[in-house]
Structure 1
């Protein structure tokens, strides 16, 4: 199943349209919280998708829409 497959922090970040460094920050936040996951192998952080979701929920990190609201405004000359 997809839920059981381990994925890197970058892969998880990409699912949410975020940069890979966002996934790394999420992993480091989990370590600060004392979580046993994600697991670091070499330079990569690994966890299952459900573990990443749990970290995201418990960490309080919010997913925000970073698109500019100004792009939808029309210029008035």
Structure 2
């Protein structure tokens, strides 16, 4: 099993979307989450790490994406 990390960029919602598009699996150098759900879907994922989220993270806080600040209203 991959090492545990704080952030997972791929989970069951994206796996469902991938399956709907006909993808057979995923190989990524990022983290994934929802590993039990991914197994239940039968969607194979090979990842750099696994994310386990026990609490909701910060919400409605400014972020920077691609060097562009994004602020919630």
TM-score range, shorter chain: 0.3 to 0.5
Which of 1 and 2 has greater Rg? 1
Between Structure 1 and Structure 2, the one with more helix by share is 1
The TM-score with structure 2 as length reference comes to 0.32
Between Structure 1 and Structure 2, the one with more strand by share is 2
The TM-score with structure 1 as length reference comes to 0.31
